[in-house]
Amino acid sequence: MNETLAAQNSATQVSTMAENLIGSEIIKLAAEINDKIRNGDKIFNYTIGDFDPNLFPIPSELTLEIIKAYENKETNYPAANGIQELRTTVSEFLKEREALDYSADEILISGGARPLIYATYTTLLDAKDTVVFPVPSWNNNHYTHLSSSQAIMIETRPENNFMPTAEDIRPHLHNATILALCSPLNPTGTVFNKEMLAEICDLVLEENKKRKGKAKPLYLIYDQIYWMLTFGQTEHYNPVSLRPEMKDYTIFIDGISKSLAATGVRVGWAFGPKHIINKMRAILSHVGAWAPKAEQVATGKYLQQKTNFDKFITSFKQEINARLEGFYHGFNELKKEGFPVSAITPQAAIYLTVQLNLTGKKTASGKVLNNQKEVTQYILDEAKLGIVPFSAFGSADDSPWYRLSVGTCKLNEINDVIGSLRKALSGLS
């Protein structure tokens, strides 16, 4: 009895932050789907923002460079901010590809984008400081919690492709320390157009002009990890190219995870004001969140192979876009047939935004789908389709919008998915 009581007491003796931390909603949903698959169900699992390496392998030249680096015994500790060769290459890459002028000393390498976002939050925020971000968006609510700060979440609208406007943001910047934005956006696969982003930059500059010498600046975290994956006429824009004065206030998050289908290779980089990058480096040096040295060496060498890089990106984008367009046209066909579904035209990343407006519908067994959680479960059980509701990205629980991720999708299964969804929808009244 005493041992049981002691164990219970011990289980609650953690920090308030840890006690109240919410696990990843996406991973929870994926775990349920994996259980179904293990039990023999055929599930079209489009939940995780990852790639099936059998469908989307990393560039073969990058693979060879990684192997070569290990053969050359590049297995000791890398520098805390990343090896010089890679930072120099990234500096040249940014200048050539985006006309962004950042020196190697303004660049920080880490094990993917996540530690960099965490380090940015930890570097800039004191307890109870305010972070402003739109929803849906990926993980800003969790990073805000981890840093013991306060969140102001701005609910965005489908008519703006779920991208926040300057007018949405304006009322919330007065006491904010961070404005966290992402374009192309996870989970929507949509982007800022030039005018939208320029207007937001002007707000940040206006706010910092008011604060000059009086208060901590307002900083912009700009996550552009998907920036190379844009389709059709879509263009990617960044704050510093549009407003050079934003260089003092912008911390970029970037890397190879998405553009090279290299989520498991774990090479990301941040760049921004040197004094902030140095503090982020100090934090991550204590955490030990560096990218493996061999992968850093390999990435630096691969990024210099411009012809191979361009060839890979062109082919990769064609494959991703074919899947996004396939689902987009499939959802449009279902909509034309009278089903209460919709989709937003794909613009970028590996995501399609789809709508399942099924609350209040009745199943063949007479059960009413009372809320969006029941809609999600019905689609999983009956259509065998796993997609992530926007509520997992901070949107309201009753939002009928979802993220469909195509990184694990076989092109020839799209018709089967649409057919399975059609059958499930036909079973509702």
> What is the CATH classification number for the domain harbouring 174?
3.40.640.10
38 plus 73 within the same structural domain:
no
**Across residues 93-101, what is the average pLDDT?**
97
Structural domain that includes position 267: 60-305
Flag whether pLDDT at 26 surpasses 90: no
Same domain, 104 and 237: yes
Q: In terms of domains, do 174 and 265 share one?
A: yes
Q: What is the CATH number of the domain that holds 397?
A: 3.90.1150.10
pLDDT at 8 over 60: no
Strand partners, 179: 132, 220
Mean of per-residue pLDDT scores for the chain: 94
Percentage, residues of the chain above pLDDT 70: 97
Q: Which whole number is the average pLDDT over 320-336? A: 98
User: Is the previous residue joined to 184 through a cis bond, with omega within 30 degrees of 0?
Assistant: yes
Per-residue pLDDT, averaged over 259-269, amounts to 97
Q: Tell which of 305, 328, 358 closes a domain.
A: 305
Does one domain contain both 282 and 192? Answer: yes
Residues 98 and 44 in one domain: no
Q: Among the three residues 271, 305, 339, which one is the final residue of a domain in this structure?
A: 305
* Sign of the alpha-carbon torsion through 49, 52, 53, 59: negative
Q: Where are the beta strands (DSSP E) in 267-334?
A: 268-271
Residue 248 pLDDT > 80: yes
Q: Are residues 288 and 350 in the same domain?
A: no
Task: Report how many domains make up the chain.
Answer: 2
pLDDT of 94: 98
Distance of CA 137 to the CA centre of its chain: 7
Residue 1 has pLDDT above 50, yes or no: no
Do residues 159 and 183 share a domain?
yes
Cα angle: 402, vertex 153, 126; to 5 degrees: 130
pLDDT at 23 over 80: no
29 and 102 co-located in one domain: no
- Report the alpha-carbon distance of residue 187 to residue 164 in Å, rounded: 14
With respect to residue 299, please indicate whether it lies within any of the assigned structural domains: yes
350 and 272 both lie in a single domain:
no
Q: Do 211 and 93 reside in the same domain of the chain? A: yes
In a domain, 8, yes or no: no
pLDDT-based confidence at 10, cuts 50/70/90?
Answer: low
Split at pLDDT 50, 70, 90, the class of 36 is: confident
- Domain stop point among 305, 337, 356: 305
- Are 286 and 324 contained in the same domain? no
Kind and range of the H or E run holding 3? helix 2-11
Answer yes or no: do 92 and 71 share one domain.
yes
**2 assigned to some structural domain:** no
Using the predicted structure, report yes or no on whether residue 280 has a pLDDT greater than 80. Answer: yes
Name the one residue in this structure whose structure tokens are 């000393």.
105
341 CB neighbour count, 10 Å cutoff: 22
Instruction: Tell me the two tokens of residue 343.
Output: 């989709």
